[in-house]
Chain A
Amino acid sequence: MEPISIEGTPKTPTVKFDAGSGIIEIKGRSIPENSIEFYKPLVDWLEEYGKSPMEKTTVNVQLEYFNTSSSKCILDVFKKLEAIHKAKHDVVINWYYEEDDEDMLEAGEDYESIIRVPFKMIEIVE
């Protein structure tokens, strides 16, 4: 599978999806007015990847800001990962948040309570 590599912009995140290593990364900001356009190819990629995933898939989400339009798309990404996990493959979601950013920690906990995949909440200390 072709990896996905997208450079970040002030409104969209840096994305690296690599089927060979099973590492999925979303970093930066995700605040586009309409996020479906941005996330659709990512969700489609994961659908395809889910057919023959790596034994272990590591997901790193490190967002500084994300808007509510993105929050639904991020849930769609996580639902694809949940399906992979449900098919007895190892998946872990590392949710990074900056020191003192309780809103971002809470957002991670919201997803953790909806999605049946192990989450690790990781505080970034400067």
Chain B
Amino acid sequence: MSFDVQEYYSKLDGGDVILAYKGSITTDLINNVLEEVEAKLEGVDEEAKIRKKIYNVLVEALQNLYHHVEELPEELKSKDNFESKFGVLVVAKVADSYKITTGNFITSEKIKFLKDKIDKINSLSKDELKDMYKFILNHQKLSAKGGGGLGLVDIARKTGNKLEYTFQHYADDYYFFSLDVFITEES
């Protein structure tokens, strides 16, 4: 069965949701989301440390989304009425954690690279992640888009939690990549 965005989104958009969005991932959207979440976090009874961590991780997650979102071909876009650069972002409180979910379409050729990268990150200890971060920081050039291959490593380091992900087939060569990031109050 192929991936159903509405169903996926409606499952996310429940419970203690701080912000839920599906649509075009643009610079303006990022600015608005950051402003809104920051304002909402102001009113949340959490330590400044946690609020900062959430904001930091949200910046990386959103900018990853912005840099890597794949444009669907016209016939698929119009079939399901997708905006261009379609992506999903949900920030929610789940038990004792804050969960940031991002979702975007990718082509099948990217799956292996992403999966290997996340599995590698998930297998590393805190110190190993620090070494990986420093290695990439010092040895890889920024891409023309401004991404540096550091976003996921940084998220894993800051949260201290494993990255959870799924790839679901949508149509033709297109898959939907969903990533859950957890910020625990104790971390």
Contact = CB atoms under 8 A, between A and B. Distances in A.
Q: Do A and B come from one complex?
A: yes
B108 to A, nearest CB: 26
A36 B146 contact: yes
Interface in B2-51: 27, 30-31, 34-35, 47-49
A11 B31 contact: yes
> Max chain A CB contacts within 10 Å: which of B55, B137, B151?
B137
Interface string A28-49: 0001111110000000000000
Contact of A68 (B27, B31, B47, B154): B154
Report the contact-size class of chain A (Cβ under 8 Å from the partner). Answer: 20 to 34
Interface string B145-167: 11110110010001000000000
A72 B140 CA distance: 9
A123 interface: no
B115 interface: no
B133 interface: yes
Interface stretch (B60-68, B72-80, B91-99, B172-180): B60-68
Contacts of B48: 98, 100
Interface string B107-134: 0000000000000000000000010011
Contacts of B151: 68
A70 B142 CA distance: 10
Report the contact-size class of chain B (Cβ under 8 Å from the partner). Answer: 20 to 34
B185 to A, nearest CB: 14
A109 B14 CA distance: 40
Contacts of A32: 146
A65 interface: yes
A5 interface: no
A35 B169 CA distance: 34
B148 A33 contact: no
A32 B31 CA distance: 10
A68 B151 CA distance: 6
Given A10-B31, A110-B130, A67 B53 contact: no
A33 B146 contact: yes
Contact of A35 (B133, B146, B158): B146
Given A31-B59, A69-B147, A110-B133, 13 more contacts: A34-B146, A65-B56, A65-B59, A68-B150, A68-B154, A69-B142, A71-B148, A72-B137, A72-B142, A100-B47, A110-B134, A110-B137, A114-B138
Interface of B: 27, 30-31, 34-35, 47-49, 52-53, 55-56, 59-60, 63, 66-67, 130, 133-134, 137-138, 140-142, 145-148, 150-151, 154, 158
Interface of A: 10-11, 31-36, 65, 67-69, 71-73, 75, 98, 100-103, 106, 110, 113-114
